[in-house]
Structure formats: structure tokens, C-alpha cells
Amino acid sequence: MSEFKWYTIIIIAIALGASSTIGALIYAALLKYRNRVQPIGRRVDIFPTFQDPLGTSCPRTQLVFSDGQQNYKYEDLHIVQIQLSHQGDRDFEEFKFGITLSPGDVAVYIEAQSPDRNHQVEQLTPLKLAEPKSEIDFVLRPLNRTDTYSLRLLMITSEVGKDPGEITFSSPQAINFVALPTVTEVVENAARSAAISIGPFSISLGG
């Protein structure tokens, strides 16, 4: 009887120890999953510059902007569309991030587009026509799963006719910015997969 009791105690002790170990491993795995770095998709589309309708045969037309006190003339202005999309599984009550333009590039105006009135974009860096900036910080409130925000920038570069350089994204929060396909890439991929049937033949644009 005593021998049976000792075996029983040993078996119970092993079972309890194994259960504790498994429970600790499960808890650690869940904690690691909850605290994993969240992926935030980012897309940057650079649209064609404002073209001079008179071409190169006449003096170059200047675009004139006014802040009500002074006029600002630009010969080459770029429209840049930025899109941020939360692709993770954890909601942020507020999400802080910043963009840094390439050397020589500056933004003169930014327009934010949020999903609805319950989603807000706060621009932390003041931006005026008289004070263009190359480093601009924002706060998104909130950034929930599948949320998408857009920013539209008017940019000038260091040289007329030069395209804007790379835009760098950063954040103090535990996230990882991942590249999303640009509008141009989406259209090109759609064109490559398009096919036209003529009788028994199928003609596609794919490479």
C-alpha cells in the first residue's frame, strides 16, 4: 500500500510539473504573439507634375499660391499621395509617426484624409507656404485593424524637372513599415494579366 502511495505521489508531482511547464510555455507564446511587431503598410505614389499647356516654346508658366498675405510662385510642383494601412491585429488608440523627405525636397502643403469623423489626423509639425519642411510628424487617432489614412503632399525639389526622392517613414512605436504596391504597379500588373480573346486565340500583354 505504501509503495502504491509513493508511486501515486510521484506521478501526481510529475503531472503537475508538466502542466505548469506547458502552461508557462503557452503563456509565453501568447505574450510574444500579443507583443509582436505590428505591420503597417505604406504606399507612396508620385503623380505627374503640373504641365505647362504652352509647352517649351513660351516662357515657363509659374504656379502662384497665396496665403492671403503673400504670393508664392513655383515652376515645378509635385503631388505625392501617401497611404497608411494597418495590417496587424492590435488596435492603437493613437499612432505616432513621421516622414522624412530626401535632401533638397520640401513640402509646402499637406492635406490629410481620414476614413470618417471619428478618425483624426493631427499634424504635429507646423507647415506654411513661407516655411516648407522636410521632416513632418503626425498622430493618428485611432489606428485600428484594417484602418487606412491618406496624406496628400505638394512638394518642390531642389532642381526644376527633378522627381522627388525617397520618403522615409519612422515611428517610436513597435511597428514595422511594409511597402504596398503603388497605383502604377497595380495598373501594370492588371494590364499584364489582361487577355483578349479573338476566335481560338488569346492575346495578352503579359511579359
- Point out the residues of the chain with pLDDT beneath 70: 1-36, 49-61, 183-207
CATH topology of domain 38-183: Immunoglobulin-like (2.60.40)
Instruction: Supply the pTM of this predicted model.
Output: 0.70
Please report, for the chain, the start and end positions of each structural domain, with discontinuous segments joined by +: 1-35, 38-183
14 grid coordinates: 510529475
pLDDT for position 199: 45
* Residue range 149-183, pLDDT digits in tens: 999 999 999 887 788 999 999 999 999 999 998 76
Distance of alpha carbon 193 from alpha carbon 203, whole angstroms: 10
pLDDT for position 181: 83
